[in-house]
Amino acid sequence: MSQGRAENFDAVDIIRTKRDKGTLTSAQIDWTIDAYTRGVIADEQMSALNMAILLNGMDRAEIAAWTAAMIASGERMDFSTLGRPTSDKHSTGGVGDKITLPLAPLVAVFGVAVPQLSGRGLGHTGGTLDKLESIPGWRANLSNEEMMRQLRDTGAVICAAGAGLAPADKKLYSLRDVTGTVEAIPLIASSIMSKKIAEGTGSLVLDVKVGSGAFMKNERSARELAETMVALGKDAGVNTVALLTNMETPLGLTAGNAIEVQESVEVLAGGGPEDVVELTVRLAEEMLACAGVHDADPAAALNDGRAMDVWRRMIAAQDGDPDAALPVARESETVLAPADGVLVGLDAMAVGVAAWRLGAGRARKEDAVQAGAGVRMHAKPGAVVRAGEPLMTLLTDTPEKFDRAREALADAVTIAPDGARSGQKLIIDRIS
């Protein structure tokens, strides 16, 4: 394990070094992560160090050491006995981002196994597991053996990460969440990459979101995050590429749980919103190329039902019923267009917060989510709208939540006179 354990450092010295813009050694970092995981460094000390890192940054060597120490805090999975390449995708989180659902079975169609360890939503961004749990019977927690068996039998698995994977990150992430230190690039990069490297995937495609609904609000910081993560992946022997993609506006026409599953199934049936299809196909091409498959046509596998076949087997393997009716919210309200013109803006953050307030997300980890809650959009930027036409439908089981959701949406919509263009590009850049 880490060499630094033999050495004894002082937490306050380490905090002071970072506070004063100094550089931490690998031995100091190994000790810090190990001591924090064991409870030797207190939460208040780690909070101070996290804030110093957020304000003063880390260099590449420090980020690599921090990531390695978090990997070493737990188990590493190994898919080498599967006898086929593995590829995974990670999104830094956005609104309406249901891409994992059609993507995992789609990539599996071409003989590349997809071990997708996913999380739950916290705050305004949704969680893949919360979405899938709206399918009656579906189970997120699998043993390592069940995961391996499913990968062998169906080629794709989406499940919760076990407690043994990067436990240091679990503890650290909860602390960051309540101390205003989530948005530090070194901490985000090491958090994501420690889990992906420990998971043991052979290749990885990162979807780094940019815009109002993302952690990274501007392209410069998203690019820095993407470059940092790609370098960490490559150094660990994981073939890694990143796409920078737009998160100014939600993906697709739904933000919630069951309604996002329904939209994903439409994509798997060869339909669905254009942006969801475009990003799903592009990410599939990237994942397949990273895994050494260059002659695949993912769009055809969506249209001819092959991806849907894998989806059905993947859901059934985790005790879900792919034919069961999905839960529907008990109450709905419509938001109308306030004017005639072109919808040039539909703010991702506002829609995400509205969906969350309607019950699709949780404020604390132990809260339950409503399967049917969320926001269904009827127009996307670029559409011509008329005053009084429905723009969005708000869905919830608890109608007292409508007012707060409407408040979140107060400035969400921008309508310009006819002739204006919205001009938002979905895929901004590729970093390898």
Active site residues: 90, 169, 176, 191, 195
Our finding on whether 129 is near ligand URA (CB under 6 A) is no
Min dist CB 329 to ligand URA, Å, is 28
172 binding ligand URA? (CB under 6 A): no
Taking every pair of Cα atoms in the chain, the longest distance, rounded to a whole number of angstroms, is 70
Q: At its nearest, how many Å lie between ligand URA and the CB of residue 223?
A: 17
The beta-carbon contacts of 404-409 under 8 Å, at least 24 apart in sequence, are: 404/357, 405/354, 405/355, 405/357, 405/358, 405/375, 406/333, 406/335, 406/354, 408/350, 408/353, 408/354, 408/357, 409/335, 409/350, 409/351, 409/354
Site size toward ligand URA, by CB under 6 A: 8
Give the whole-angstrom CA distance, residue 396 versus residue 362: 14
Output 108 or 208, the one with its CB closest to ligand URA: 208
Smallest separation, CB 211 to ligand URA (Å):
15
Residue whose CB is less far from ligand URA, 99 or 109: 99
The CA–CA distances, whole Å, from 366 to 87, 122, 132, 362 equal 31, 10, 18, 8
Q: Residue 138's closest CA among 272, 265, 324?
A: 324
- Cα 428 to Cα 36, 90, 412, distances in angstroms: 38, 17, 22
- Kindly indicate which of the ranges 100-108, 187-195, 293-301, 366-374 contains the residues binding ligand URA, using the contact rule CB under 6 A: 187-195
Q: Which helix (H) or strand (E) holds 360?
A: none
State in angstroms the smallest separation of the CB of 243 from ligand URA.
Answer: 16
Candidate segments 105-113, 157-165, 182-190, 222-230, binder of ligand URA by CB under 6 A: 182-190
Choice between 84 and 217, CB closer to ligand URA: 217
Helix (H) or strand (E) holding 349: helix 348-355
CB of 90 to ligand URA, least distance (A): 8
Which alpha helices (H) appear in 368-419, and where do they start and end? 402-408
Structure tokens at 300: 């055809």
Q: Give whichever of 187 and 358 is closer to ligand URA, judged by the CB atom.
A: 187
Residue pair 254/374 in contact by the 8 Å Cβ criterion: yes
Residue list 63-92, contact with ligand URA (CB under 6 A)? 92
Cβ-in-10-Å burial (0-12, 13-18, 19+) of 16 comes to: middle
The minimum distance between CB 215 and ligand URA, in angstroms, equals 6
Closest distance of CB 342 from ligand URA, Å: 34
Q: Look-up: residue for tokens 């939600």?
A: 250
CA 250 from centre of chain:
13
Of the listed pieces 8-16, 138-146, 183-191, 279-287, which binds ligand URA according to CB under 6 A? 183-191
156: closest CA among 195, 206, 102? 102
- β pairing state of 114-118 and 203-210: unpaired
Binding of residue 188 to ligand URA (CB under 6 A): yes
Residue 66 CB, nearest distance to ligand URA (Å)? Answer: 12
Nearer to ligand URA, 31 or 173 (CB): 173
192 or 277: whose CB is closer to ligand URA? Answer: 192
Closest Cα partner for 396 from 381, 408, 412, 411?
408
86/92 with CB nearer ligand URA: 92
Tokens of 199: 């998971």
The contacts found for 419-424 with CB under 8 angstroms, 24 or more apart, are 419/342, 420/341, 420/342, 420/344, 421/342, 421/344, 421/382, 422/342, 422/343, 422/344, 422/345, 422/381, 422/382, 424/246, 424/248, 424/249, 424/381
When binding is defined by CB under 6 A, the residue of 54, 72, 129, 192 that contacts ligand URA is 192
Specify the residue, 187 or 377, whose C-beta has the smaller distance to ligand URA. 187
Among residues 191, 245, 318, 396, the one that binds ligand URA under rule CB under 6 A: 191
Q: How far apart are CA 397 and CA 373, in angstroms?
A: 7
For the bound state, the minimum distance from the C-beta of residue 191 to ligand URA, rounded and expressed in Å, comes to 3
The one segment of 184-192, 328-336, 350-358, 395-403 that binds ligand URA by CB under 6 A: 184-192
Residue 209 or 306 having the CB closest to ligand URA? 209
Residue nearest to ligand URA (CB): 191
User: What does the binding site for ligand URA look like in residue numbers (CB under 6 A)?
Assistant: 92-93, 173, 182, 187-188, 191-192
